[in-house]
Amino acid sequence: MKSYNTWISVSPIWTTSLSLNVLQKHDRHVRTLLTLLQTCGIVLNPSKCVFCVPEIFLGYNISFLGSWPLPEQVADLQACPLPKTIVKFRSFLEILNFYWRFLPHAASIQAPLHDVLSGTKVTGSHRVTWTARLITASDDCQASLARAAILAYQHATAPLALVTDASTTSMGAVL
């Protein structure tokens, strides 16, 4: 069995924010996972593996504080011109939907944008007609993403409550 000792190192930033006991427990979990992956024949590329870092990028930033959208992605989205075709419009919506967890009331804000895709004659080359309502919805989505706060992790001992709501155009739930 291959040793994973060379892959795992403790960052000084983590040792100041986490107790040694937590790090040792985390190290055991990672080693157990790596052993199971190896047992199942799943091969990992060590050069693409990152362990014990204070922050990681997975399409958005993730750290011990929580997660938040990448500032450069948000800036790129805001600088992007309004898409002119359905193909480009769908790509625009895909980016917004990737960051849905950071957008309060995402479903209701995006509803006018998704309405563009309804209908039988909507094809990839079809042109998008940008009405004032669509422009406002697009601007609201971009502004909401720019104001996104860090989504913090729940406290392990805090009581949980599930709150739901729905309307004719959207639904939502908060844990």
The 10s digit of each residue's pLDDT in 74-125 is 888 888 899 998 889 999 999 888 888 888 888 888 999 988 888 766 777 7
User: Based on the domain organization, do 75 and 142 belong to the same domain?
Assistant: yes
User: Based on the domain organization, do 134 and 89 belong to the same domain?
Assistant: yes
Of 150, 104, 112, the C-alpha closest to 128 is 112
In a domain, residue 128? The reply is yes
Q: Between 20 and 87, whose confidence is greater?
A: 87
Question: How far apart are alpha carbons 101 and 168 in whole angstroms?
Answer: 21
In a domain, residue 31? The reply is yes
Q: Between 148 and 121, whose confidence is greater?
A: 148
Question: How far apart are alpha carbons 26 and 6 in whole angstroms?
Answer: 16
- For 18, the domain range is 12-53
In a domain, residue 161? The reply is no
Number of domains composing the chain:
2
- Of all residues in the chain, the percent with pLDDT exceeding 90 is 14
Report the predicted TM-score, pTM, of the whole model to 2 decimal places.
0.64
